[in-house]
Structure 1
Amino acid sequence: MATDVARSTDMEIASSAYTLFYLPGVAPRDFQRGDELQVKVNKLSSTKTQLPYDFYYLKYCKPNKIMNVAENLGEVLRGDRIENSVYTFHMREELPCKVACKVKLDADAAKNFKEKIDDEYRVNMILDNLPVAVHRQRRDGIPSTTYEHGFRVGFKGNYAGSKEEKYFINNHLSFRVMYHRDLETDSARIVGFEVTPNSIKHEYKEWDEKNPQLSTCNQDTKNIIPGGTVPQEVDTDKEVVFTYDVTFKESDIKWASRWDTYLLMNDDQIHWFSIINSLMIVLFLSGMVAMIMMRTLYRDIANYNQLETQDEAQEETGWKLVHGDVFRAPTNSGLLCVYVGTGVQILGMTLVTMMFALLGFLSPSNRGGLMTAMVLLWVFMGLFAGYSSARLYKMFKGT
């Protein structure tokens, strides 16, 4: 009994000691039932163009006052732009359907939406420092266990038998917040933030700005997306009503493991063929070079063995002609010293960054920390680059 008490006391001390080493903004945050949750929006990103855009570059719902979140150097270099949004709800209080706003697309807004849909842009959102994730759809339409960062702005397709391909926007967001509950205090920590985007052409009789009533979205709606729902088309002078609903789900995932979801690969396959193909090419080329060098050396050695009994004063041939060139400075020795110093700088930055990552200093929850560490280490490693370049230049008899 005494041993169990001592062990539990040691665990409490150890856990409290660990909390002392949390970085600012990374420590867990406990939420009580009814606490307000504010979703923040980030940049619009695309793997097709690699050019980030501000979320409000497109004509989305805007709050009364847009406030930017303070960012570090890494977030600025990554192109992050974290701002507040109109999406707000309360902890563990489900929201069937709520209207965010209604916008009317002019020619420029419709053009921007269409361009971003063509370039496969995705919308990134954040809740409790956790980026939103979307279940990756398999070919049979069933959600898989892998995730993607952010949801698509929209999609292109045909509707109602029309041969013309049209643009549709994802104007309804179904959020699902997963939380891990503490049984003693009844508080909860957010361990997952998922969204399912949909395109719905909302219908209403008369628009009331203060209390909008939609036949396709109301408090009594259980099935938000009925089977015959018409998707919302993107075009000039089209009215788009943005809506969202929220559900909460209790999870067994601990707060310390909530980032494991984002570390899953989008592709579960290991490309063994490509790996084996690359290894075979490297081994084949290395064998060819080694075989050519061995044949040349064996031939030269055989020739020198024959010359030992004949005239030793004969002029040297073969590889012995260049045996003294290792002590001669190359033609562009200054450029070689610069290259060597730059290589030392990159190698040092890579090794130290990997060491910090292995020790846990570069947590994914510390957004932009990796980029900031790499930039600062690159600058610091300039000392070693300068030393190695100067030492090599001095060895080449440089002044």
Structure 2
Amino acid sequence: MTSDYELVMGNDTECQFLCGRNVDRYGLKRARELIDNGYVAEWIVDNLPGATSFVTIDKSRKYYAAGFKLGHKDYSRTTGNPRYFINNHVTIVIRWRSAPGRDGEKGGKVIVGFEVYPKSIGDEYWKYEGCPEDVRNVEYGMELYLPPSENTTAKAQPTSSSSYAPPRDEEDMDDGATLTIPYSYSVYYRAETDVEWANRWDLYFVGEEGSSKIHWLAIFNSVFIATLLTAVVGVIIARTIKGDMKTFSKDGGVEEGKLKLKLKRPRNGTKSPKTGEKESISLLDQNGDADNDADVSSDEELLEDLTGWKLLHGDVFRSPQYGGLLAPLVGSGMQLVFMASGLLLLSCLGVLNPSWRGGFVSVGFSLFIFAGIFSGYFSGRVYKTFGGEDWRKNTLMTAILFPGLLFTTIFILNLFVWAQASSTAIPFSTLIALNFLWLFIQLPLVYAGSWYGYARAGSWNHPTKTNQIARQVPQQSWYIKGMQSVLISGLIPFTVIFIELLFVFKSLWQDKSGYYYVFGFLAVVFLITIITVIEVTIVATYLQLCAENYHWWWQSFFIGSGSAIWIFAYCVWYYFTSLHIHGFISSILFFSYSFLACLVYGLLTGTVGFLAAYAFVRRIYGYVLAATSLGPQYMPISKDSLLTTVARGSSAIKAD
């Protein structure tokens, strides 16, 4: 809101009386609580925050911290009880310089600094509806204290006696007594030639300059980890997988136009009536005819070397359970990827900066709503790939699932903030407007994207067909099982971002300025994190396939989002070790918003991991086709499926 302070450019004001406010005992109690909890007042002039001025340790430079204290706390010399004083006079210093270009030639000025120096002045120094006699020479401050009395308007007791100490508890809170607090201000304009208008925010970040080395250390740490993972993925693709392809092409692949497998006869199999030897089984040739020249296998001959991930060709693309839930999550994740990428790009280009108040949140909401079309597209296409038929139901779930959870949680948290009468509460009209944007703009965009992805683009083609009978998954190693795999894999991306995460937390929760501004570093770390998530998911998916476990759809999503669990654990550790938050409501808000932030991050990285694993799986099974020079219908079937078909008495076996 606009204040009652009046500033006229270039006109100094020695002292100006503002007002006198009558405060009852409840108001005094609330003021003492705010001072005790370190609250500050925030003012804005020309989109520049009112700042408390500090100097560096070596006194070579000064820097700013947004806001100024409401008052200060002292202790009685005799009793040791706390005493609270309110800052009821402020000295405002506006620093200016000539405007650049023709405006400066015409006498135009721009503001490059806004400093506020608060002071507490006791009641005995004030004139009636006027300024103090001398604001510079003040010995006693304005204490927030009312003595027990009848229904009268009281003034603060003199504080000259060192033996005076107010009681710890208020008495007769409803006795109608009030304390009159006078307010005044001084204004001075000073020319500043060392600060350019374009760089006027630099003073708010001078105290963070020494942290640039740590930022570079974080970048080096991230690059080092990503490089190691890249080497691992390169070895897997360039040597292991291609080596498997070479072996398969040589031993179990195409020989004179025929795809042949050798199999030991099952225990209940039959012997050849002529030779008494166990019969061998060969697949159809490329023309679909039975191989009349089937090789005869002895008891010692084993099935050709088809092991590990190659055995899953008939099950690896089997639709997952609860695919109708995974598709909307992937769609919402792509929506968040677009929003995060857009915000980082605009911040790095300087379009979004602290001088644009509320710009980061406003642009973020706009990008999120616009990205609904991408959410619908990817959700519809993944849903079609899973074999879904009711695309309208999938569209509705995509548009409501994550945005609805986000809106509902914020609304419930906002009720707690309203109950505390906090100025950070979102107005009810804003919530209605957000609900309108959600239902009448984002929902149609999701519908359009989903229709195009499902009906026009269609499903992604798979290089192999799926068997009718699912394979039995063998016993898995402990590090491949669900939660263990997620936690181990999620720890690697967390090590990439945890240093930069410390700066983000410090800016949001501890810094007086409350601004995070090094978006260049954040963008680099974000990019490296995405690369790390992709590589970790590929490695984990490959190990899972080698263990003959084809349930990789959900697992790849959880592995990609695994670092969100570590980030939330880091939030809990940060709360107990670095923050001094008191009160149930404040703690609920911290953990709730931290959970929402981790949920957004996990959904984003989980989607990236899922799509990376999907592309990887399609690629490696495409390599199999390239090695065999056959179509999907001629892929060798698995041992279990082949034995099942033989047991049923089929005379000719065609790979499916």
Cα distance per residue 1:65-123 (max 9 Å; x no partner): xxxxxxxxxxxxxxxxxx22222132222222332223343111112212212332221
Summarize the alignment of residues 109-124 of structure 1 with structure 2, pairs less than 5 Å apart: 109-124=27-42
Secondary structure of 1:193's counterpart equals strand
Q: Give the equivalent residue in structure 1 for 2:49.
A: 131
Are 2:231 and 1:231 aligned? no
8 A contact 2:131–2:184 mirrored in 1:
no
Q: Give the equivalent residue in structure 2 for 1:185.
A: 106
- Which structure carries more relative contact order (alpha carbon 8 Å, separation 6+)? 1
Q: Give the equivalent residue in structure 2 for 1:254.
A: 196
What is the identity, as a one-letter code, of the residue corresponding to 1:261? L
Unaligned stretches of 5+ in structure 2? 147-153, 157-179, 253-261, 263-299, 390-656
Q: Give the equivalent residue in structure 2 for 1:313.
A: 303
Are 2:298 and 1:356 aligned? no
Are 2:316 and 1:326 aligned? yes
Q: In 1, Cα distance between the equivalents of 2:210 and 2:372?
A: 39
Q: Give the equivalent residue in structure 1 for 2:91.
A: 174
Cα distance per residue 1:268-315 (max 9 Å; x no partner): 33574984997599679969x98xx99xx79x98xx99x999523389
Q: In 2, Cα distance between the equivalents of 1:272 and 1:129?
A: 30
Normalised by the length of structure 1, the TM-score is 0.62
Q: In 1, Cα distance between the equivalents of 2:122 and 2:375?
A: 60
Q: Give the equivalent residue in structure 1 for 2:134.
A: 216
Q: Give the equivalent residue in structure 2 for 1:74.
A: none
Secondary structure of 1:203's counterpart equals helix
Q: Give the equivalent residue in structure 2 for 1:366.
A: 356
Higher strand share: 1
Q: In 1, Cα distance between the equivalents of 2:79 and 2:56?
A: 26
Are 2:99 and 1:158 aligned? no
Cα distance per residue 1:348-392 (max 9 Å; x no partner): 112223333344443543322221111111011010110011011
Q: In 2, Cα distance between the equivalents of 1:127 and 1:213?
A: 24
% of aligned pairs identical? 32
Q: In 1, Cα distance between the equivalents of 2:222 and 2:343?
A: 27
Normalised by the length of structure 2, the TM-score is 0.40
Question: Which protein is bigger by CA-based radius of gyration?
Answer: 2
Are 2:189 and 1:269 aligned? no
Q: Give the equivalent residue in structure 1 for 2:63.
A: 146
Q: Give the equivalent residue in structure 1 for 2:186.
A: 245
What is the identity, as a one-letter code, of the residue corresponding to 1:245? S
Q: What is the RMSD of the two structures over their aligned residues, measured on CA atoms?
A: 4.0
Q: Give the equivalent residue in structure 2 for 1:7.
A: none
Summarize the alignment of residues 31-110 of structure 1 with structure 2, pairs less than 5 Å apart: 83-110=1-28
Q: In 2, Cα distance between the equivalents of 1:316 and 1:195?
A: 76
Unaligned stretches of 5+ in structure 1? 1-82, 218-223
State the Cα distance separating 1:171 from its structure 2 match: 1.8
Q: In 1, Cα distance between the equivalents of 2:82 and 2:61?
A: 28
Q: In 2, Cα distance between the equivalents of 1:192 and 1:145?
A: 12
Higher helix share: 2
Q: In 1, Cα distance between the equivalents of 2:366 and 2:80?
A: 55
Q: Give the equivalent residue in structure 1 for 2:149.
A: none
What is the identity, as a one-letter code, of the residue corresponding to 1:108? Y
Residue 213 to residue 246, structure 1, CA distance change in 2 (3 Å): closer
Q: In 1, Cα distance between the equivalents of 2:65 and 2:333?
A: 35
Q: In 2, Cα distance between the equivalents of 1:392 and 1:230?
A: 71
What is the identity, as a one-letter code, of the residue corresponding to 1:199? S
Secondary structure of 2:357's counterpart equals coil
Cα distance per residue 1:201-224 (max 9 Å; x no partner): 24347x423xx253333xxxxxx2
What is the identity, as a one-letter code, of the residue corresponding to 1:149? A
Residue 155 to residue 326, structure 1, CA distance change in 2 (3 Å): farther
8 A contact 1:135–1:143 mirrored in 2:
no
